[in-house]
Amino acid sequence: MNYNDNDPVCSLTKRVHWNVTVPAEAAGLRLDQAVPRLCTGLSRTQSRKIIDIGGVHVAGRRVRSCSRSVKEGEEIAVYCDGLPLVPFTLNADAILYHDTDIIALNKPAGIDTQPTPSRFQGTLYAALTELLIDPFRRHLEPSIGMVQRLDRDTSGVILFSISPRAHKPLTTAITTHAIGKTYLALVAGVVPPGTYEIKSLLARSHRDNCVRSISKGGKEAVTRYHRLAACDSCSLVAVTPITGRMHQIRVHLSEAGFPLLGDTRYGGPGQLGEMVISRHMLHAQQLEFLHPLTRQPLAITAPLAEDFQMLLNYYNLTDYSEVLC
């Protein structure tokens, strides 16, 4: 991951959102002049960086040109997600598999998979676009199919199609559950030995944007998990999501009484003993599937993120080998 976290102008530490209307006295200003004038607390340097990564929207459309003039009455929305205000870039170490049709990456935690209101640059999709673009023909965007997504704070293997001929068969493999997925999760509590299956209907609440199991009207979700190792306060489990619903693993494990460490949104502890846990401890460990064109069997595994491995070492949960459910 390539971030300059030590630059004080490169980050705002809290999620912030401004909605402002351009007054007559600001009409004609450059966007990077109008934003700091109308949004209390933003410097011009910060405003330029937010514009550059795609966090400024004028009249409902993302604008990434600092020199664009604003007009009286225009609505400007500024989004800041609290992450560094610099583009995220990929290096060769992040590539787990790459051929002419597909690419698998080891996604770090803290990076959005796809563009959000706060940023286009700084997402995995944008970084992959930059990685694949032909430097001699930059006007030609690479063909990228986003066939799966990982939550911002989930680390691990993620797969993209990168040729038009691979988009449809890879999408079909995802929707028909032909791609086997294995996750590692650190959860609060002691999971009993054995393999378990959770099946429920999941739906997102508009009130708090959280996902929950409901009695009817939701989408079917099936999760299998089993314990790999445990200590007095937490457990390491291998998880296989049979379906791929939003927040499925996080919700199902929480409802089973074993929320992810760090997943405060779904009841997980943000601190366990002396250890402060800054994100939910979920890692996409492995994908198993047939290559969409050659039909060659592939098993792609992502090494653990440093913070995940550190917690395994701290709680002495490293004595495991088999991870598949």
Residues assigned a catalytic role? 151
DSSP 240-255: EESS--TTHHHHHHHH
DSSP structure class, residue 140: S
Beta strands in the chain (DSSP E): 16-21, 56-58, 61-62, 75-80, 95-98, 102-107, 145-146, 155-161, 180-188, 195-204, 211-214, 219-230, 234-241, 271-272, 275-276, 282-290, 297-301
CA distance 137 to 263: 43
CA distance 54 to 120: 5
Half-sphere exposure of 301 (CA within 13 A, CB side): 5
Q: Count of CB atoms within 10 A of residue 92's CB?
A: 7
